A = this chain, B = another copy of it.
Amino acid sequence: MCRWLAYSGSPIRLEELLVKRDRSLIDQSLHARQGATPTNGDGFGVGWYEGVATPRLYRSTHPAWNDRNLRELAAGISSPLFFAHIRASTGTAIQETNTHPFRYGRWLWMHNGLIREFPRVKRELVLAVDDSLFPSIEGTSDSETMFFLALTFGLETDPVTAVAQMVGFVEETGHKHGVDHPIQMTVATTDGRSVWAFRYSSERDSRSLYFSTRMDTLRALYPESKELAELSDETRVIVSEPLGDLPGVWNEVPESHVGIVQQGADELRPFIRR
């Protein structure tokens, strides 16, 4: 449905991952290989951090492959932590406010998948969003609703639990309305320091999700690579589908798991809805 990419580590130009390489994200906007749809042409977005402040957003309804501004910005902007997303709408309108990543304060959120029968359950889900958060909802998509539910359930203090509760609530609500498999998702969220990446679906058949191998291991594998030599040990990339074909770089996130990129050792653990 969509494709996305989360980067955390040594500051790099966005174009390194969005534009330059074979099977870059822009390349995937025209012909993804593992997605539900090969074309992801319903807009795109980039969110990036500089220092610890609020992240910046650039979002557009144009296809990523033909947006000149995206190439200019990707060449001009360096960041140690950024999210990028290309959209294939599952029904909600093509407009910037439905384009990922979504932002709330220091947080970013992006999603591949859908809430099934969203028009049927939307009202109930939206009503559960906290009063103080409600005015910040800008769009009309299922993905943004998931974000605001997660915020309501405490994303800012305990992300894994909050997302687990959000999933539980969406499933419960869906089941009440007779929806068999209410949610399908790979989700990334960040506060500008750590990144959480979730792979989950009600039917236990989630969209693909990969994380990159530790840089020290990769450098041992490819001692001659100048590109890898420049990246810090902590550098990680999480993607809907692999960028490039280098063996040993990409590891699949297992079904119903969450990966956490953070200070110290990264984590990969089972994710259970609440």
Residues on A facing B (Cβ under 8 Å): 30-31, 38-39, 41-42, 48, 50, 56-63, 65-66, 68-69, 72-73, 75-77, 89, 93-97, 119-120, 122-123, 126-127, 131, 134-135, 137-140
Contact = CB atoms under 8 A, between A and B. Distances in A.
A41 B41 contact: yes
Contacts of A77: 76
Nearest to A121: B135
Integer count of this chain's copies in the complex: 4
B76 A69 contact: no
The 5 closest A-B pairs by CB, nearest first: A119-B135, A95-B95, A56-B76, A123-B134, A41-B41
B66 A42 contact: yes
A29 to B, nearest CB: 9
Nearest to A87: B66
Nearest to A120: B135
A123 B135 contact: yes
Contacts of A65: 41
Nearest to A79: B76
Contacts of A62: 61-62, 94
Contacts of A61: 62
A120 B56 CA distance: 25
A19 to B, nearest CB: 14
A127 to B, nearest CB: 6
Contacts of A131: 123
A83 B137 CA distance: 29
Nearest to A122: B135
Contacts of A30: 39
Given A56-B76, A126-B126, A137-B140, 16 more contacts: A31-B38, A31-B39, A38-B39, A39-B39, A56-B72, A59-B69, A60-B69, A66-B89, A69-B69, A76-B77, A93-B95, A93-B96, A123-B131, A123-B135, A138-B140, A139-B140
Contact of A41 (B39, B56, B73): B39
A180 to B, nearest CB: 19
Nearest to A42: B66
Contacts of A31: 38-39
A69 B58 CA distance: 5
Contacts of A63: 41-42, 63
Contacts of A89: 66
Contacts of A122: 134-135
Given A50-B76, A77-B76, A68 B96 contact: yes
A131 B123 CA distance: 7
A131 B122 CA distance: 10
